Every structure is written in structure tokens, then in C-alpha cells.
Structure 1
Amino acid sequence: MSPHTPLHWQAVPSPAHTPLDGQYVRLEPLDPARHGDDLWQALQGPDSDPALWDYLPYGPFAERTAFDTWLAANAASADPLFFAVLDLSSQRAVGLLSFLRITPGDGCIEIGHIAFGRAMQRSPASTEAFYLLARLALGTLGYRRLEWKCNALNARSMRAAERLGFSYEGLFRQHMVVKGHNRDSAWFSILDSEWPSCDAAFRRWLAADNFDAEGRQKQRLEALRK
């Protein structure tokens, strides 16, 4: 497309801070009073992932007071816009994530600030949490671009982005200083034109018949996009 070709673009709405229901999880507006105890246990408890905070700009939290202060600030924020992830089988909050850099005029939005308890990692619940936000942004609201950014040293996040259907766009060298260390940021995106095939793959992967009796996937998400 020529840079001089009119786009006829109209701004889209900002995402509403309302619950999103899936088959494995429910995303709820972050509420420290409702979700705080569960999140403290999932993210800081004895069975939590010790590597969880390695590439996040905050945490870990040695004391509950500091954790609650962090949760309260997140809950009050409109951008980032935080959601708690409620596991429907246990009815407990097991993680959180957010929209951020919300730019309705350009149709650009990002998913980030991801903190999932160990029980969510590498599970249908984590995939569905991302899917619910992606579907809202690219499907329901009509955003043109969904972004994912991470520290280029964060191999888990890099793999997750590619598995979820994000395309690698490049490296922003010396992009940030986080916890006293340099961060080179890897940038990924899904465009609106790519969403229909991604959406179909997510729905097929999350279907009950894609898992055996032990909960193991039969087809990989990446394979379903081909």
C-alpha cells in the first residue's frame, strides 16, 4: 500500500473493564480485595515459580504489604488495564495480565504485565487468557495491531509469543533499563488481517476434543495455523 493511499480509518473504542468468560478461565477486572489472597499465594507462595519475576520491572515481593500496594496501583490504572485470571475449576485467581499502550486512534494495543502462577503455565488456561484479550481487541473492537514486547533474553516469553501467533518484527537495542540491567526489547505483533486464521486456530486448539483423557494436546497450536 502506498503511504499516500487514504486508509479511511476511524478510531475504535478503548476496551471496557468488564469480565470476559471462557471455558477454562474468566478474566475479571483486578480487585485486590477479591483477588489479593489468591494472587499472593499463586505468585509468591511456596509453590510459585521462582523465575516469574526475573524479567518483570517489579517483584518479587518479600512482604505482603508491598505486594498489596502494587496490586492496588494496578487495579486503579486505566493504562495498563489489568485483569485477574480466575480458574473456573477452582474459582481461584491464578494470575494477571493487562492491556497497555492502548491507542484507539491508531488501532494499536499491547498485551503485557503477564504474571501467571505455576499452575497456569503451559496450560489451556494460559492460552485461553491470551485468546480472550486478543479476541476482544482484534475481533470485537476492531484494532488493527496487537503487540507483544519482551526482554530479548526472556526465552520463555519469546517462545510464547511465536506459539500464540505473533510475528517477530525486530530488536530494539538498549531500549530500557530494568532493575539496573540493560534490556534489549524484542517486538512482535498480530495484525487484523492475520486474526481470522489465528482465531480459528485458537478455537480449534481450545476445543475439548483436542485433549486426551490426561489433558494432553493432540494438535499443537502452531500446526493449526498452517
Structure 2
Amino acid sequence: MTLREDSLDPPPQAHRGPNPSMPAEEYEPNFCFPVKDLESERVKLTPFIPSKHAEAFFALTSPSYDYLPFGPFATADEFVSILVEGRIHPNPECVLFAVYDKSKTPETGVPDGTIAGAIGYCNSSAVNLVAEIAFVLISPQFQRTHVTSNAIGLLLHYALDLPSEGGLGLRRVVWQASPMNGPSIGAAERMGFKKEGLLRWHYVLKEDKQTGNGRERRKGDPKPNLLGRDTAVLGLCWDDWEDSEKDRVDAVMSRRS
């Protein structure tokens, strides 16, 4: 079960930016805000570096791409070329993090534990002090655990905490999902997001996507064989964050059952 969706997938593109096989120490995120490791007691987010993380990510049980406008991907190279290098890295509004489950440290002997998926931001603006949580690709074997809530919580803290607290001081964080994707909307609401509206006929879906809005296209539609999708928009803003939602998120992140 994949929890989060984002903007429609553009046509596949050739590699742009650094070669995905570039050594990890030479690979730099291309994001409009500073990028750093984000860490809680049980989860760590670190910038996604293809040469370091792609094979380990792709070796996980694949998340569902049913409600996502991109994927699925046949190989790790395809995941990198189409999504990471073709879409995320060239766009300074986007960044991707690898998600590590630190609770697996005793099993692995590795301080960071084991990779559990990926998550990131998109549609980010330093001018308007806004970001959108996106690319939530948590492997099914780590779902219904602390991993997703802690990963989302870390991104919320980094976005909405003030610079004096180690955050970016943004005014707004967005979550978008298909109205049919109840788990995605439920996850957002548990983390303090509030429903703000519905964008009707927001996307024309790709041919292999069958999770449209369930409504017929009109006669003469230029793309009669492609379904349309609505988008539910949820938001979490700085005033709600400081009033009550930061405490709510911290409680969810610390929950043990």
C-alpha cells in the first residue's frame, strides 16, 4: 500500500544531472532548500543517492503504484532513470530521501538499520514558503509500523519548525491524493493535515492506470481511452502546527503500539 501521490508523471526522459552511478560523495541533491539527514529515535532519512540506495530500495517488496501517476518500474535502473534522474533530481522543487528503519539495528549490526523505502518533497517554493510531501514509497513489509509515521513526522518537523529550531520555517505543507485512496488520506489526517478541497478532473491518467474518478468522459474527448482523476488536497499550516499539531505528530511518532 503506497500512501502518497503527487503530480502527473511526465514522459520518460534521458538522464539529466549527475550520472546515477556517480560516487556517493560526489552526488549533490538539487533542491531549493538545504538538504540534510533527518533522524528520530527509530527512523532516519538521508538524501537518496542512486549509487548507494537504488539497488537496496528495489530489492524491497514493491509498494503498490495503483494510485500513483508514475510506475511501476521493471528494474532499479528504470526507477532511477525515469523517476530519480528523469523527474526528481533535475527539478529544484523536488528531493528524495531514503528511509531507514533504525529498529533493525540489532539485527543488521548497522547503526542506521535497514532501508525501508523512500519519501520526499515536491512542489516546494522558497519564495512562498511551501512544500508538498510526496513520493511516499514505503515497502509493504514496513507498513503498519512506526516507519511511515516517523518519516512523515520528520519531514513535517523540518518543514514547519522555525530555523532557530533546526527547521525551514515554512508556512504550509501540502498533501495530495486520489479521493479513492483512503489509506493515503487517513495517514495524512492522522498526522494533522486537514482536508481543504477537491480538484475535479485534475489529471489525465496513463493508459495502464485504472484508478480514475469513475466518471465517463464526454463524447468527442481528445483522449477517450484515458481515465480522469480527481485530487483531494489537504494542508497543514504553521499556525495549526504551533497551536496543537506539532504535539499530535510527536505523540504519533512516539507511539509504541
Q: For this structure pair, what is the TM-score category when the shorter chain's length is used for normalisation?
A: 0.7 to 0.9
State the 4+ residue runs in structure 1 displaced beyond 3 angstroms: 70-77
Aligned identity (percent) is 29
Question: Aligned in 2, Cα 1:61/1:138: closer, same or farther, shift over 3 Å?
Answer: same
After TM superposition, give the deviation of residue 15 of structure 1 in Å.
Answer: 2.8
2:100 maps to 86
1:162 aligns with 2:186: no
**Is 175-184 or 162-171 further displaced after alignment?**
175-184
For normalisation by structure 2, the TM-score amounts to 0.69
- What SS class does the counterpart of residue 144 from structure 2 fall into? coil
Larger RCO (CA within 8 A; separation ≥ 6): 2
1:192 maps to 238
Give the partner amino acid of 2:152. F
1:132 maps to 154
Count how many residue pairs are aligned between Structure 1 and Structure 2: 192
Give the partner amino acid of 1:205. V
RMSD: 1.9
1:182 aligns with 2:225: no
Structure 2 unaligned runs (5+)?
1-30, 105-112, 162-166, 207-225
**Partners of 1:98 and 1:104 in 2: CA distance:** 16
After superposition, residues 1-226 of structure 1 pair within 5 angstroms as: 14-42=32-60, 45=61, 48-49=62-63, 52-70=64-82, 71-73=84-86, 74-75=88-89, 77-90=91-104, 91-139=113-161, 140-179=167-206, 180-196=226-242, 197-207=244-254, 210-211=255-256, 216=257
Question: Aligned in 2, Cα 1:77/1:87: closer, same or farther, shift over 3 Å?
Answer: farther
Note if contact 2:205-2:227 (Cα within 8 Å) is conserved in structure 1: yes
Q: If each structure's strand is expressed as a fraction of its own residues, which one has the higher value?
A: 1
**Partners of 1:68 and 1:187 in 2: CA distance:** 28
Question: Aligned in 2, Cα 1:75/1:87: closer, same or farther, shift over 3 Å?
Answer: farther
Structure 1 unaligned runs (5+)?
1-12, 217-226
Deviations along 1:108-144, one digit per CA (max 9) or x if unpaired, are: 2111121110123222111010011111111121111
